[in-house]
Structure 1
């Protein structure tokens, strides 16, 4: 058993990782192997762009496959809809927030491997997420950000399902 802590992930995030793994392993890698084999059969490999690029791309794919396999092995899938307390902020919650200037923002707390801040998918380990965990609608939380402290009021909490 690994001594690393589990990597929490939503079912949707895990499905995306598995789909990427399957696409790379079953579709893209075989195409590249075929191209490299064909290019190698042409003879001189030193200036053969198809061969050189193919070998480079093959190494990239293998590294990504290795990374995805490790992440999936350590992943602990947590279904947000099955959280015990749906009235508090927990992993997988989608939260609507308002800051001091009443600027609203919607974020979803997800696993580190599925975080995408530009789409409102925030890692549950991020400072804002850590400050919000356990909060209820109407609570105000102070968040320490690189730009300074900011206060947020929780306007709504939703879970999928």
Structure 2
């Protein structure tokens, strides 16, 4: 199985979340479940049922995070040149149809966040951007729609933005 790329900052966030859930949250809910179990019939014990559900959800999240941790290739974006668009680049595009500027950050699949304009290197736009140069114009197609862009700026993503 091919490893998913992830920035060193994204990887650190995932490790931090895993550690917190494993060392703090899960022990808390295991203890809550044990306390609730002492209150009698478990089939009608809301606290017991709730704690059990929390543990199940935590285990699910921990398995997901563990999968990311074990199937990721951590990339230090400060060591990648950003003269051309690359993984870890922040790109300012000019939409040639609307004259609007749009900023995108190229990150790994597990780090994407449309609300923060973080797009995956494997997304259609991410793939179209990789390797492009400053001032280059290109077309990007989604279904029957064609978008035309010009690349105005390429720089390394800032740590505080990841």
What TM-score, normalized by structure 1, do the two folds share? 0.93
Does residue 69 of structure 2 align to residue 79 of structure 1?
no
What TM-score, normalized by structure 2, do the two folds share? 0.93
The structure 1 segments of at least 4 consecutive aligned residues displaced by more than 3 Å after TM superposition are: none
Paired residue for 2:86?
Answer: 90
Matching of residues 75-154 of structure 1 within 5 Å: 75-83=72-80, 85-100=81-96, 101-146=98-143, 148-154=145-151
Superposed CA offset, 1:34-54 (max 9, x none): 110000011111111110011
CA RMSD for the aligned pairs?
1.2
Distance in structure 2 (CA, Å) of the matches to 1:60 and 1:160: 33
Distance in structure 2 (CA, Å) of the matches to 1:20 and 1:69: 11
**Could you list the runs of 5+ residues in structure 1 that have no partner in the other structure?**
none
Q: Cα–Cα, structure 1 residues 43 and 14, in superposed 2: closer, same or farther, change >3 Å?
A: same
**Could you list the runs of 5+ residues in structure 2 that have no partner in the other structure?**
none
- Aligned with 1:50 (options 38, 47, 51): 47
Distance in structure 2 (CA, Å) of the matches to 1:143 and 1:69: 35
Superposed CA offset, 1:75-122 (max 9, x none): 101111111x32100100000011012111111000000100111110
In the alignment of these two chains, the number of paired residues is 157
